[in-house]
Structure 1
Amino acid sequence: MHPGRTTGKGPSTHTQIDQQPPRLLIVHIALPSWADICTNLCEALQNFFSLACSLMGPSRMSLFSLYMVQDQHECILPFVQVKGNFARLQTCISELRMLQREGCFRSQGASLRLAVEDGLQQFKQYSRHVTTRAALTYTSLEITILTSQPGKEVVKQLEEGLKDTDLARVRRFQVVEVTKGILEHVDSASPVEDTSNDESSILGTDIDLQTIDNDIVSMEIFFKAWLHNSGTDQEQIHLLLSSQCFSNISRPRDNPMCLKCDLQERLLCPSLLAGTADGSLRMDDPKGDFITLYQMASQSSASHYKLQVIKALKSSGLCESLTYGLPFILRPTSCWQLDWDELETNQQHFHALCHSLLKREWLLLAKGEPPGPGHSQRIPASTFYVIMPSHSLTLLVKAVATRELMLPSTFPLLPEDPHDDSLKNVESMLDSLELEPTYNPLHVQSHLYSHLSSIYAKPQGRLHPHWESRAPRKHPCKTGQLQTNRARATVAPLPMTPVPGRASKMPAASKSSSDAFFLPSEWEKDPSRP
């Protein structure tokens, strides 16, 4: 059974999300670039974790760890649970803000490799102590290296330095180069993947190379991608339509075409965030938008939620007042269990559908079909959806009202000629408004980040069981410069990744003390353990 999926024959009453794998973020930004990137990165991390830690419902992120690599590698935060842990994460972001921004030092070429090896070792230590149920989630790790160095050079450095390292538990290895560009007039700031980068054959795993701009919004959007349900173990939606929808394909009507699709959110559901206008709703409340969305994607692997197309509609024939709930996006599936020919054919048919709907200016009306009635003898109520094309390889899906939901309303026709004085006054007021050609949500802020931060922030206490007070680093180019001593967390040293020049300063740690340091909350709460 796939972890994070629901079981049973009928629709799940308690929806779940495929939990994302543990993530290791290594910030590899040397001086003087750190001075330009620090503020944007810390602000983006704080904004992101204010959302990730406060989202109600199933946890979208499991574990997170943070390393910093400058003249040497340093563990800012060992692996911790993300949900409900905002105060601790905020403290670590404050640690990043306090790192030195000026001066120079001699770069240690092995520091990045040591950070990767150290993070892998800590992940293995953590995984040994979780319960059997939780261990299913912690089988693989995603590593992201955020660097100011040329990305291709960093990839080559990693290939050479890690060729003898066991990366079997690394699900994805990603290098993200921070560039000096600034985001302007776009409605989304997705990272750009470097398709010219040769895949790594030395490590036995691919290293993805991407670039993002050095601004808060671009970094924020990059981190928000971690909240997506990006599992590829199975397709999530089957879109069924008869062959008559394709004029150039002849097929019997009783054998509908099945397009296999993945489901993606367009927005975070406001009802899952405390303090929003819909904050009184919960995901188990049938009035909430969230449950309808993930009932379709969270079925067992033996069945799929189906959308049966029943008729076409003119694009101009749908009143917006009849749609409700959050929109979501369908795209051709990237399920790895399908063979390449089936994936290619499925994508071609999906492309043809998008093209034909745009050309005809049509929408599709579809009926949701759950996998089965389960043990209940009652006939479940159906949900209907409108499927809208776009100029990208995606379809927008929104729930649409049915007869049972409609309330009586009267809409008197608009008189052709309004009163002259009223028309002049209104026209004058409208002329004074600033006119934008499109709505860009990235230019509109609701102060939600600061609101969530104020709710979940707590007085910054101790990060770890042990502390050590370290003397400030000495940098040859800034002799005589004074720094404030800071209390920092002691991370138990790992035999395979000794820190150059610091081994004598670190307290010796036995295996038992090291194990105790990485005990997760599940271990502490289980009274049956010795």
Structure 2
Amino acid sequence: MENRKRQAGPSNSGSLVYRSSLFPRQPARVLIVEALPPWWSQTCTVLCDALDNFLSLACSLDGPSRIPLLSLYAVSRQQECLLPFVQVRGNLARLRSCAEELRSIPVEGCIRGAARGGELLRQTVLDSLQQFKQYIRHTSNGPQASNMFLEVTVVTSQPGQHILRLLETGLKDADLVSLKRLLVVQIHCETDWDQENLSPKVNHPEADDYLMLGAEIDLQQVENSVLAVEAVLKAWLQEQGGDREHLQLLLPSPPDSPIPVCVKCDMQECLISPALIPLNPGLGEKTESTQDFWPNTKGTANQSQVPQRLRAIKALRADGVCESVLYGLPLVIRPTTCWQLDWDEMETNHNLFHALCHTLQSRDLFLLLQVELAQRSTAGGVCSHYILQPSSSLALLLKPVVSRELLLPCSQLVPAQEPTPDALELLQGCVSQLEEELLFNPLSLSSNLYQYLKCRGLLSQPRYPYRLQPAAPHRDQSQPPEGPKNAGKRASRQPQAQSRHLGANSRVRATVAPLPFSSSSTTASTPSQGPPPAKAPRPPLKLLSSR
């Protein structure tokens, strides 16, 4: 998608995908993995596979940086820093080598006590904070690095509440100014945890005695699967600002107040835009025209390309498809009118298309389509998926659908109770003031696009459609002595200098090139006693060639 060119252009400065002002307060990340037996034997493969998949995606994303710094620690027999703070983008080889080093930690060994493991985790958190301070102190990024903060994620298979209280008690007196959040992720394993084996016993303080460290402390429990661990890591790719609300919804004012009702909201990405993936792997992100949908066959003209083949793999209930997983511009699918088909084949195809539309609409179904295996790209084997929706007319709607790799975690909380009566009555009154339409007609909407384009075209630099004479070369400072010929040239340049001086002080500019002098006008410039010659006919204007 040539992201660098898009960022350079002023017309794309407001794009949500490429705008550099997005993700201004993304924190540096520290991942601490507790690799203690016997749980490490069950979580090693799952965690390392999820980390390897996540790093391959995070290192390849274009656009604004979502993870400015990353550090990785492992806690087994002792704490070990596998990766000091490095930038994520462009460091895929180094990050993957650290993931493989984490995978090589032995999965068998003696069972350590929980207290010993909690002490190692506390020391590791303190060491990561110290490393972060030293990095910020010696970095050359200036004020941007000084405003950065840190989030620490601890992955363990021990009881999450127990580890959380151990860390909270152990870090109570530490300097945690740069720490914004501490997240403990507990991966459930089949091995049961025996609370009686805690050695030594830990006396937990009362809830009122807890010191919240000035940072947010959370516990997240996930199952032992690659998909669940990937969701924890992909949350790092989402915007972590929170300094102000993202948008404000203005509703009509209630009868007893002239002030409109304002609902303040935040925005959250549901998926990673395929446009941020370089090399165009064929994920269907370009659906602006029919040419974008054709298979990319090198050395073959568009007219001779084979048609794209999509295979239906599932029938989906229409009410079970969420619109948030669809992206890109939709394409209208109609029965073909290709002139190379004979009439019988075209009529049969038209009947089949009509029957497909009727079947999907009557049963309220969508079709899930996949690019046929023969059409997949040979470099990596990336394929795209699409949703086919029926319509009331003889047409279908084709939309790209996101795959697992680009899907971001988006947990929507379902309210357990009804809204408050006051808020419900207020919002019902606001919505009732809006005009209702049974059938939406986009022709009733005007975006002021024509006027904007006209104003922009008038303010832009004009392009003259006529061929202008080349400008005179700049005269060198070392000029020859002025003779009769040079004096004549100097006299001929005086009107041009006056015209340039007039053009510099006036906003009026000529829109046509000056006419070249004809032979008759040249003779008329010499003194004579007769009447002035007749004007020469105006020569035709020379338009610029297409070259």
More helix by share: 2
**Which structure's relative contact order is higher, taking Cα pairs within 8 Å and 6+ residues apart?**
1
More strand by share: 1
Q: Which has more radius of gyration?
A: 2
Using the size of structure 2 for normalisation, the TM-score is 0.47
Using the size of structure 1 for normalisation, the TM-score is 0.48
